Structure 1
Amino acid sequence: MTEAKVLIDQPSEKILRLTLNRPEKRNALNDEVRNQLFEGLREGDRDKSVSVMIIRGSGEAFSAGYDLSQPNHSVERSIAKTDGWWSRHVVNNWFEIWDMSTPVIAQVHGWCLAGGTELANACDLIYVSEDAKIGYPPVRLMSPPDMQWQTWMMGMRRGMEALLTGDHMSGVEAVASGMANRSFPKETLDNAVLEIAKRIAKIPNDLLALNKRAAHRAMEAAGIRNGIRATADIQALGFHQSSSKEYMGKLSKRDLKESLSERDRDFGDYREES
């Protein structure tokens, strides 16, 4: 029997917790992880006894992003025939969390990179460990983000800096930027998030759903849904640029770690700083 890639438990009444369970891969998001995650989220959203859901990662990371070592095939037929299907597919997934009635919390510790940051920012609340490392390094040699959350969650200037450098920030910096709600010492993060979830769960589910929807409707009036979908198409365009084609060609022919080191070597961070 294969080990579950997403562990599900109920640490307290009305609270469902989903733990990404690929610690040996820093919880990289492959089809198996994403499918199990969304099955669990959908089931929790349908369950009237669940008021809040928490997503966290096992081991040393929340998630290192999409798994580049294996192909991803899980995609809706309606978008599979056109170029850019991947970015549209994952944005559809992230907006599914946005559209759920149940509030979803991202509990972030350790590395939170690329697609991992997209998962976190698709959630309604983000609580981080102070020493978390959050960034989107693919902008350096691959493409813009599938889900460009940076300018929406951090504002134009900070978002622009993140997109133009690919640098990572700490959990403390993520709170200061507006991306995350609060930061906690790593050793107290579990309990702190659980206590916040318990406070949320005191409110009736029907009002929680409307409160969540009210916040989202305000953001949608400002254009967030159309804006993020538009940048998904820009991400697809990124793969047609000569620099991206050259890098992706190398990526397909050599060791993944070597390719990631090439990406970050001049910056002296991520893999190169450890």
Structure 2
Amino acid sequence: MSDFQSIAYATDGRIATITLNRPDRFNAIDDHMPGEIARAVAKADADPDVHVILVRGAGPGFCGGYDLVDYAEAKGAVSGSQDMPWDPTLDFAMMWKNTQDFMSLWRARKPTIACVHGAAIAGGSDIALCCDFLIMTEDARIGYPPARVWGVPTPSMWVYRLGAQAAKRMMMTGDVITGREAQAMGLALSAPPEDAFEGEIGKLVGRLQGVPRNQLMMTKMVVNQAYENMGLNSTQMMATFFDGVSRHSPEGIWFRERAQEVGFKQAVVERDSGDPIATQVSKRG
């Protein structure tokens, strides 16, 4: 639709579909996408015919995260990476808005389903995990590799969906897991083979769309309130602040300098190689 740049929005009967629509960049998150997701959720919430909201990715995958090729390789101050001295309040304001835009999927009055094929990486996993349900193809991948250096998942949904031990494993290692592994951990509701993916989504949608909208809203609010009572909002505030810190720590600054020197993809290979980041930082001198 003409009123969206980075997503597409469509309805079919009782289903609204939000499609992350930058397939040439693996649907990487740009400056437009978070706010457009929130606007599309509001549009679906206001539509009396819609009972279920699907979130999909155009092209070969769901979402590869923030468009860090631009953000990490660019010279000078850019969104999310300031020249020193760093002002954490500016960083927090930007990322907090993005976090709340993604959380519109969690707080929508109607159930939201992330339909993940290909991969949901870094910020893409944030979008997927803010949905009520996660269905992945068995070989799709999900994870937050920037947790190794240069990022903290601001919605912090890993802990609320997995519990402490598994969340620490995912957030401390930056591991990327398959749909099969995600289902075994209880992260994904199901992870069928690719040829059964649409059928699996259809089964859940079929069960949900026959429920009155008021019932869906009430039952969702009850579950969500339990998590709000556990301190979800304050956890996200801390995570959003630390996300900014991670991009301006000595290791975070090294990572961006390395991305500018050898390119973002090579910097990621080095970050994820297992070579201690402290050693890499010491090499700067």
TM-score by length of 2: 0.83
> Where does structure 2 lack aligned partners over 5 or more consecutive residues?
72-77, 81-87, 276-285
1:58-81 deviations in whole A, cap 9, x for unaligned? Answer: 22211111111335869xxxxx95
Give the number of equivalent residue pairs: 262
Look up the equivalent residue of 1:236 and give its one-letter code. Answer: G
Residue 136 of structure 2 aligns to which amino acid in structure 1? V
- Matched-pair contact (CA < 8 Å) for 2:149–2:246: no
Corresponding position of 2:7: 6
CA–CA distance in structure 2, aligned partners of residues 88 and 4 of structure 1: 21
> Which residue in the other structure is 1:47 paired with?
47
Distance 1:163 1:227 in 2: 14
When structure 1 is superposed on structure 2, of 169-178 and 220-229 the one drifting more is: 220-229
- Which of these residues, 204, 223, 238, is aligned with residue 230 of structure 1? 238
The answer (yes or no) to whether the contact 2:144–2:153 under 8 Å persists in 1 is: yes
2 CA distance for matches of 1:238 and 1:194?
Answer: 40
Which whole-Å CA distance do the structure 1 matches of 2:205 and 2:223 have between them? 18
Match of 2:174 in 1: 166
CA distance in 2, matches of 1:166, 1:219: 24
- Structure 2 counterpart of 1:250: 258
Task: Kindly state the Cα deviation for residue 252 of structure 1 after the two structures are TM-superposed.
Answer: 4.1
Work out whether residues 91 and 229 of structure 1, in 8 Å CA contact, stay in contact via their aligned partners in 2: no
Sort the Cα spacing of 1:86 and 1:248 in 2 relative to 1 into closer, same or farther, 3 A. farther
Aligned partner of 2:32 in structure 1 is 32
Does the CA-based 8 Å contact 1:104-1:124 persist in structure 2? yes
Distance 1:90 1:251, change over 3 A: same
Whole-Å separation in 2 of the counterparts to 1:146 and 1:172 = 25
Further displaced range: 112-121 or 148-157: 148-157
Say whether the 8 Å CA contact 2:37–2:102 is kept in structure 1.
no
Give the distance between the partners of 1:236 and 1:8, measured in 2 at CA. Answer: 31
Q: From 145, 153, 165, give the equivalent of 2:161.
A: 153
Matched, 1:219 2:220: no
Gaps of at least 5 residues in structure 1 are 75-79, 268-274
Assess, with a 3 A threshold, how the Cα gap between structure 1 residues 38 and 59 changes in structure 2: closer, same or farther: same
How much has 1:178 moved relative to structure 2?
2.1
String of CA shifts for 1:135-176, please: whole Å, max 9, x gaps: 111012213222222222111111111122111111111122
Post-superposition offset of 1:228: 2.1
Distance in 2, matches of 1:26 and 1:83, equals 25
TM-score of the aligned structures, taking structure 1 as reference length: 0.86
Q: What's the C-alpha RMSD, in Å, of the aligned pairs?
A: 2.5
